[in-house]
């Protein structure tokens, strides 16, 4: 008889299982479902959103391939994107709000459900590292605005002007019409969300963005919100989101994807169901691009988006490659 190990079995509460819905006899009990053990060839693994994920994955891989932790890997990966001045949707060089001010949102979560976040943060190039400090060096989960900025300075982060010549020029062109409108798949990037499993089989995730271009000053999207832009449950898997943050927040997107995987869905199926909830809750889908990526405990990944054009990067021992997400509708 096959031995039960904690790693291979997942306890599901009565309210949380598909089996409960079809089998009332077990409705009042806890049930255990078997998870296929992760293949040694599948871990480590890292997946991340959009084309910029390829470079971020490589930075994560340097850590994972040497036996480093998923937490270190996810932070190192997205820092690359944050520090890229040519990327206009994350960190340095991110497009500003309508007042010309770059404000950043980020969060990080590890295998112990520890998490940290910063929102509406100004003047700091690597918000993900500030989010990690919030997680590891405070009793809190989230710091915002001026408080987050002061905290970052206290922790030794240096002041950086995030508005580059390129992003300032784009903002000045936008100001001529000042029309707020989300841009679908802007230059094939948006938020970077990155999920990893390390050699030990532990999961972590990171998510970071400059948010919607030309947003109202003070707007915060889904990316720094644990459960919306990112969620990790080391027993089940992890998910993160990209696209119009308001739509993701309305359905607690990433937490839902993880719960759907807990209930037996594959990463692809879970991402698809989360997208279909967004579609159901919004009468007008114009410009409403949202994409999810997910990674389960077994190292299986998946993605789904409202419109075509979303893709994600996957790094394993044998490859680093882009995969086109399945989607609901052509633009
Ligand atoms: N998903 C990024 C944002 O809405 O800010």
Write the pLDDT tens digit of every residue in 108-142: 999 999 999 999 999 999 999 999 999 999 999 99
pLDDT tens for each residue of 59-89: 999 999 999 999 999 999 999 999 999 999 9
Which residue among 106, 117, 207, 211 has the greatest number of ligand 1 atoms within 8 angstroms of its CB, and so is best to mutate? 211
- Establish whether residue 258 lines the binding site of ligand 1, counting it when its CB lies within 6 angstroms of any ligand atom: no
Q: How far is the CA of 210 from the centre of ligand 1 (A)?
A: 8
**pLDDT at 256 exceeding the cut of 60:** yes
Residue 282 within any structural domain of the chain: yes
Residue 3 within any structural domain of the chain: no
Q: Which residues constitute the domain of residue 200?
A: 9-329
* pLDDT the model gives residue 179: 78
The distance from CA 161 to its chain's CA centroid, rounded to whole angstroms, is 25
**pLDDT at 14 exceeding the cut of 70:** no
Q: How far is the CA of 1 from the centre of ligand 1 (A)?
A: 49
Of 38-52, 166-180, 246-260, the poorest mean pLDDT is in 38-52
Q: How far is the CA of 157 from the centre of ligand 1 (A)?
A: 24
Residue 218 within any structural domain of the chain: yes
Structural domain tally of the chain?
1
Q: Is 290 exposed, middle or buried (0-12, 13-18, 19+ CB in 10 A)?
A: buried
Residue 110 within any structural domain of the chain: yes
pLDDT tens for each residue of 154-171: 999 999 999 999 999 999
Q: Whose CA is nearest to atom 5 of ligand 1?
A: 211
* pLDDT the model gives residue 180: 72
The CATH number for 175's domain is 3.60.20.30
Instruction: Give the separation between CA 152 and CA 159, rounded to whole angstroms.
Output: 9
> Given the DSSP bridges, would you call strands 142-144 and 115-121 parallel, antiparallel or unpaired?
parallel
Residue 54 within any structural domain of the chain: yes
Report CA torsion sign: 300, 298, 130, 274: positive
Largest CA distance in the chain: 72
Instruction: Give the separation between CA 111 and CA 290, rounded to whole angstroms.
Output: 26
Find all residues with CB under 8 Å of 145, minimum gap 6, and list them. 119, 120, 121, 122
Query: pTM (2 decimals)?
Result: 0.89
Residue 305 within any structural domain of the chain: yes
Find all residues with CB under 8 Å of 3, minimum gap 6, and list them. none
The answer to whether the CB of 134 falls within 8 A of the CB of 118 is: yes
């Amino acid at each position: 008889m096959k031995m039960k190990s904690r790693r291979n079995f997942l306890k599901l509460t009565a309210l949380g299982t598909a089996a409960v819905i079809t089998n009332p006899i077990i409705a009042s009990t806890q049930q255990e479902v078997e998870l296929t053990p992760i293949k040694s060839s599948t871990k480590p693994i890292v997946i991340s959103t959009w084309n910029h994920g390829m470079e971020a994955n490589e930075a994560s891989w340097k850590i994972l391939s040497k036996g480093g932790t998923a937490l270190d890997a996810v932070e190192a990966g997205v820092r690359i994107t944050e520090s890229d001045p040519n990327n206009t949707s994350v960190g340095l060089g991110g497009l500003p709000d309508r007042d010309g001010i770059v404000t950043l949102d980020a969060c990080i979560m590890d295998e112990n459900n520890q998490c940290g976040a910063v929102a509406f943060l100004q003047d700091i190039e690597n918000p993900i590292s500030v989010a990690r400090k919030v997680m590891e060096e405070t009793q809190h989960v989230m710091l915002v605005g001026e408080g987050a900025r002061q905290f970052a300075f206290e922790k030794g982060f240096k002041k950086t002007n995030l508005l580059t010549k390129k992003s300032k020029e784009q903002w000045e062109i936008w100001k001529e019409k000042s029309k707020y409108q989300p841009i679908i798949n802007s230059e094939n990037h948006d938020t970077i969300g990155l999920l990893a499993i390390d050699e030990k089989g532990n999961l972590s995730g990171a998510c970071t963005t400059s948010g919607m271009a030309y947003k109202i000053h003070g707007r915060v999207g889904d990316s720094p919100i644990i459960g919306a832009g990112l969620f990790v449950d080391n027993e089940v898997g992890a998910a993160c989101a990209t696209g119009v943050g308001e739509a993701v927040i309305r359905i607690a997107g990433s937490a839902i994807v993880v719960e759907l995987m807990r209930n037996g869905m594959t990463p692809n199926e879970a991402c698809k169901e989360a997208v279909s909830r967004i579609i159901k809750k919004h009468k007008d889908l114009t410009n409403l691009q949202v994409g999810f990526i997910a990674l389960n405990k077994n190292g299986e990944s998946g993605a789904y988006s409202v419109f075509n054009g979303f893709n994600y990067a996957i790094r394993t021992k044998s490859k680093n490659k882009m995969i086109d997400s399945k989607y609901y509708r052509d633009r």
